[in-house]
Chains A and B, each alone.
Chain A
Amino acid sequence: MADRILEVKDLRTRFHIAEGTVYAVNGISFHLEDGETIAIVGESGCGKSVTMLSILRLLPIPPAEITSGQALYLGRDLFRLSEREMEQIRGKEIAMVFQDPMTSLNPVLTIGRQIGETLRVHLGLDKEAIHQRAIGLLDQVGIPDPAHRLNDYPHQFSGGQRQRAMIAMALACLPSILIADEPTTALDVTIQAQIVELIQRLKEQLSMAVIWITHDLGVVAEMAERVLVMYAGFIVEEARVDELYEDPRHPYTMALLAALPRIDRRRDKHLRSIPGAPPNLLVAPKGCPFAPRCELAFDRCWDEMPPLFQLGPDRRAACWVDVTTGKPF
C-alpha cells in the first residue's frame, strides 16, 4: 500500500451567521494516498468545498469555526501549524484550482505577473528565471505562443485558457497534492474534456495526488480511482470507482445514479427523481440526513446517524440498511 500523504480525521466545520449556526461539515474522515486521484462528489451545499477550504485553512474565522479534527499532511497536523508554516505548504505543496477562473484571477495584473508571484514567493527566483519558468508552465498547460500570452490580462484569455492559466499557477511549485474544486463546471463539455485530459496528463508527469471536487458523476467515472460521496456534511459512501457505479451501497448514491439521464442509452421511461430537497443545514443534524428522502428509511434512521460501516477494502457506507436486501443489518 502506498503511503498516506493526507489523512483527515473527524473534521467538523461550522459557520456562525446571523440566522444561527450552519452545520457544514459534520465529522468526516478520509485519506489520500501518494499519487492517487480521489473524487469528492455531492450536490451544492454538501460540504465538499468547505472541507477543502478547511484543510487549507482558507476559511475566514469567524464566521467559520473548525470545532474538531485533524488534517495530517505527511504526518504533520495542518491545524497546529503557525500561519507562517502554513504558507510554506499552501500553494507550494498543496495547491488548489478553483471553479471560476474569472473571479480567482486578478483582472488588473497580467497572467505572467500572477504566475510569477507564486514562483517569487515560494521559490525566491530572480526575474529572468521567473520569466523563463512562466513560459515553460504556460507551454506545459497547452497555451499557444506562451511568451506573448504572458503579457495578456485575464480578460484576453478564453474561459478554457483562464482555467489552464490557473492550473499553470497551481503547478508552479510542483505540488504533491492538487485540489481541483469543480474546475470544469463553468466550461463547455468540449473544453471540459480538454481540461480533464490535461490534469490527467500532468498528474502522470508530475506524480501528484489529485482531489477532484465535483457534482458531476460523469466526470468522476472518467478520472477518479476512489470516490467519496457527501451529503449534508457527511461522507455517506466511499468506494473504488468501478464498485461505486456497479454496486452502490448507499440509498443516496443509488438514487443519484438512477436520476441521471444517459447519453449512451436509449430512453426507456421517466427519470427516477429523488423526492424533496436536501436538508436545512441550520438545524443541528440528528439521525441520517437523507432519511426524509429515502425509500428504505425506518425508525432508527430518524434518530441515529449510522457510522460508516466497513463493507470491504476501501469500501464504506453509512446506512443502517443493507441495500442489497433492503433490510436492516
Chain B
Amino acid sequence: MATTQTYVGSTVLRKEDPELLTGQASYVDNQTMPGMLWMALVRPPYVHARITSIDTSAATAMPGVVGVYTAEDLDLGALPFVWPITEDIKVPVHYPLAKDKIRFHGDAVAVVVAETRGQARDAAEAVHAEVEELAAVTDPEAAMAEGAPILHEELGTNVTVHWSHGGGGDQSVFESAPVIVEERYSQPRLIPNAIEARGCLAYGVPAMGEYTLISSTQIPHIVRATLGGAVGIAESKLRIVAPDVGGGFGSKLNVYAEEALALATAKATGRPVKWIEDRHENYVATIHGRGVIHDCTLAGTEDGQILGLKFVEIADMGAYYQLLTPGIPELGGWVYMGPYDPKAYWYEFTGVVTNATPTDAYRGAGRPEATYVLERLVDAYARRIGMDPAEVRRKNLVPKFTEARPAISGLNVDSGDYHATFDRALEMVGYEDLRREQAERRDRGDVKQLGIGLCTYIEMCGLAPSNILGALRYAAGGWDACTVQVTWTGKVVLKIGTSPHGQGHVTTWAQIAADALGVPIEDVEVLHGDTAVAPLGMDTYGSRSVSVGATALYLALEKIKEKARTLAAHELEAAEDDLEFANGAYTVKGAPDRARTITDLAATSWQAHSIPEGFEPNLEATAVFDPPNFTWPGGAHICVSEVDTETGAVEILRYVAVDDCGTVINPMIVEGQLHGGIAQGIAEALFEEAIYDEHGNLITSSMSQYLVPAATEIPTMELDRTETPSTTNPLGVKGIGEAGTIAAPPAVVNSVVDALAHLGVTDVGKPATPERVWGAIQRAKGGAA
C-alpha cells in the first residue's frame, strides 16, 4: 500500500471496549421485547432411553405457561450437519427434540414457553417422560466393542466413520528404521466454557412469515444458510443477528436445537421467545472438544533424525454429529508432521458415537490434538535415544523458507522460520542454565524437581481455500466478504462477513481501513454479525477473520481507491496515471497543491453532480476473497515447571512463547490472543477434563467440579515473536487465535514428564492431575524396585 502506516503494526486501544467496560453491552440476555416469553427445555435425567410417552398435561396447566411442545407437536426437520467427510459415512439423524430415543443428557423431549423465566423452569420440571432406560456407553473404545449398546439402531453400529489421509512417502520406514517409538496418548473431553453460555431470542412478523433470531453465535451466516430448513422458514425470510457475544472458542460455531426451537415456538405463539442457557445445560448440551485416543509411531535414526510419523486415532463423536463433528479430526490430519520434515507420513481415524455430548470444534479444532501427540512423541524419542529434546528438534526443524513449500501431508506451507522462534525461546528461558539447575536438583534428590517442556509447532489456519474444502467434502466455501462505504460526510463504514466475539477484530480492521484511506481511526465504523447488514460472510472460526476477512477488506479498499482515482482524475482534469496516492489523497504528480482526499471524493461521488460518464455514484465497493492456501503460523513454547514428588502437584514457574503469525496488525491484540490461548492450553494440560460415571452421567457438571483455572493458577507469560509474512494473502498475515491452545498442552505436559524422567516416568496423562503425577511416580518407583 502506498500509504503511511499510522495504525497498522502499532498498538491501538480497542474500539470495542467502552460499552463492555460500562455495562452497556448487547449480549443476548440483555435484550428484551414486549410480550416476550421464556423458553425452557425438558431434559430428562437419562443418557440412553427409549421414550414411551411424554405427559405434558400438568405443565400445560401451570401458571404463566403459554405452550408445551414435544417433537410431534412441532414437526421440525433435522439439525444441519455439513461435513460428511467420506462417501460411506453413516450420519445419525439429529432432531431438535428427541422423537424415539434419548441418546445423551442434552437431548430434550419437550419445550415449554411461559411468561417468566421461573415459570418456564417450573413447568419444564412438571413434564413427565415415561421411558425404558437402556445401557449407556460413554467410552469410545467400549462403544466399538462387540455387544456395546447401539445408539442409532438404523445405522447398525456405533462406528460411524473412518477416514484415512492415505499416507505420504515411504511407509517401509515404520518397519525398517533403527529406532521405532510407539506410544499411546489419551486426550479427554473438554468443555469450552465461554463465560457467557449460549442464548437466543427469536421474534418475527408472523403475517409476513419473517423471523429474526438474535443468538449468541459465532456464525450468523451459517445459521441462516442451514437452519431455515429445520424450521420451515425460507433463508430469505430469516435474519440472524449475533450481538455482543461473550466468548465462543468453537462452542458457538454451531447450529443448535435451541435456536430451532426458539424460532419454532416464536412461530407457534406469535410472540418473541427467549432462551438463556444455564451453566449446567451448557455442560451437557453445548458441544465438547477433544475426546481422542492416539496410537503413535515415530521411526527415526539413532542420531535424532525423524524418518516417519504415523498416527491412528479413535475419536469420540458423541451422540450425534453437530455441525462439523467428524471434520475436526480430519482437519488435524494435515499437520501431524509439525514443523519437521519426515520422509513418511500416515494418519487415519475412526469416529465412534457414544452417549455423551457431541464433540466439535474447540479452540484449535484437530490441530491441538495432533500437536499434543506429535510433541509428546518427539520427547519420547529424545529420551529413547538419550538426546536432549532441544537438539532433536533443532535437527528436524525445516529451515527457513519464504515461499510456499510442500509438506509431506500434501499441502503447501506458506512460509516459516522455525529455527528463529525456537532459538529465541531457548535464549529467553535460559535453557542451558535450567538444565544445570535441573541436574543439581536431581543430584540432591530434591522433593521439588524441575521440568523443562518444549513444543515447536505449526498450525494450519485461515480457513479456508474453497476448492480444498470441496475436496474434503465440506458443504460450503471458505471465502469471506467485505463492503466498504465512504459516506458523504467522510466516515468509513465497513460491513464484514466474519463475526468477532472478543478477538478485537473491529479495531484490527479499522486500523487497516484508516491507514488505507488516510482517515482517523475514529472515523471508521465496523458493522458485522447481522445477516441483514452484512449479508455476505462465512463467520468467525479457524483464525480466519484477519487472513481471510481482512484480506477481503483490503481488496475492497483497493477497489475504493481505484474508483476514487477515476473521480479524482476527472475533477483534477488529469490522467489517472498522473495521480499519486498518499495519506488519503490523490495528487497530481509534480503539483502537490492539486489534490483530492478520499473524503472529498466521497462527497462529490455521493452528490454525483459532476461525475465521469459511466461512473456509479457513491464510494462503495464489495470484495470477496477466497484464499489460495491456508496460513501456517508456527512457533516455540517452553514451559518450566516444578513438580512436588511427594504430592504430585505441579507448579508452572515460567512460560515462554515465541510465535510467528506473519505480519502483525496490532501487537497488543496478538499478545492478548496468546495469553488467552496459552491459559486455555495450561488448563487442558493440568486441570480440565469432562468425567463421566459408569452410567454415563457427567460428574464434572458444574464450574465447581470442572476446573476452569483462575488467576491464581495461571502464570505470567513471557512472549516474543518473529514476523515471517504469509504468502497466502497480500497483507502477509497468518492468524493467532488458536496458537496458544495448540502449543501449550504439550509444552506443559512435557515439562512434567521431563521433571520426573530421571525417576523413569514416561507419561503422566492429560490432564496431569496431582493424583496422576503421583501415581506415575509410584509406578516408576515400583518398576525400579
Q: Do A and B bind each other?
A: no
> Which residues of A come within 8 Å of B, CB atoms?
none
